[in-house]
Amino acid sequence: MRTVKIGVIGAGSHANNVHYPSLSMIKEAEVKAVCDLNPNRLRMTAEKYSIPSQYTDYKSMLEKEELDAVYLIMPPHQLYDIAVDCLKQGLNLFIEKPPGITRSQTESLAWYAEKHGCRTMVGFNRRFIPLMRRAREIVEERGFINQCVSTFYKNILSQEPPYYSGAVDVLTSDVIHAVDTLRWMGGEVSNVFSSVRRLFVPYDNSFNAMITFQNGAVGFLMSNWAAGSRVHVFEMHSKGISAFVNPNDRALIYRDGSSEPEVISTFEAAESTEFHVYYGFLSENMHFIRCVIEDREPETCFRDAVKTMELVEKIYANAPR
Q: Are 42 and 21 in contact (CB under 8 A)?
A: no
pLDDT at 1: 63
Are 129 and 234 in contact, with CB atoms under 8 Å apart?
no
Q: Is residue 321 pLDDT above 90, yes or no?
A: no
**What contacts 263, CB < 8 A, 6 or more positions away?**
250, 251, 252, 253
Q: Where are the domains of the chain?
A: 4-126, 127-271+302-317
What CATH number belongs to 127-271+302-317?
3.30.360.10
CATH homologous superfamily for the domain 4-126? NAD(P)-binding Rossmann-like Domain (3.40.50.720)
Q: What is the DSSP letter of 3?
A: P
Measure the CA–CA gap between 321 and 313, rounded to whole angstroms.
15
**How many other CB atoms sit within 10 Å of the CB of residue 259?**
5
User: Dmax of the chain from CA atoms?
Assistant: 62
Omega of the bond leading into 98 within 30 degrees of 0 (cis): yes
**Per-residue pLDDT tens for 289-311?**
999 999 999 999 999 999 999 99
Q: DSSP H helical segments within 2-129, as ranges? A: 13-14, 20-24, 39-48, 58-64, 80-88, 103-115
Summarize pLDDT for 163-175 with one digit per residue, the tens.
Answer: 999 999 999 999 9
Q: Does residue 144 register a pLDDT over 80?
A: yes
